[in-house]
Amino acid sequence: MVTIDHVGWYSYLWFPIVQREVLNFGSDEPDEEVHAAFASLIRKGALVLTKENPDEIPQWSPATGEVEIARETLSLGRDLRNRSQ
């Protein structure tokens, strides 16, 4: 969510291969897991369709408030990792 908010939605950066270097996306998860996460975010309503034209690639944006939730989650994860070290 934070990466999409920062970079924007450009499907060629995510599919078929996640362009980690361009996105500064540090996850080591396999591309298939990242792709599955997109589907999950869409089902949950965290990513919303902002542009829908049958002749074009759909455009997605984070729903209102979702970036803040993602940032808090990232921060909490970092805090927990730092405590265990």
pLDDT band at 85 (very low <50, low <70, confident <90, very high): low
Q: Is the pTM of this model over 0.75?
A: no
Q: Which of 52, 53, 67 is nearest to 5 (CA)?
A: 67
The answer to whether 1 touches 23, Cβ cutoff 8 Å, is: no
The answer to whether 6 touches 71, Cβ cutoff 8 Å, is: no
Does 76 score more than 80 pLDDT? Answer: no
CB neighbours of residue 71 within 10 Å: 13
Higher confidence at residue 40 or residue 83?
Answer: 40
Does 12 score more than 80 pLDDT? Answer: yes
Higher confidence at residue 63 or residue 23?
Answer: 63
| Per-residue pLDDT at 79 | 66
How much is the mean pLDDT over the chain?
82
Cβ neighbours of residue 2 under 8 Å, at least 6 residues apart? 67, 70, 71, 74
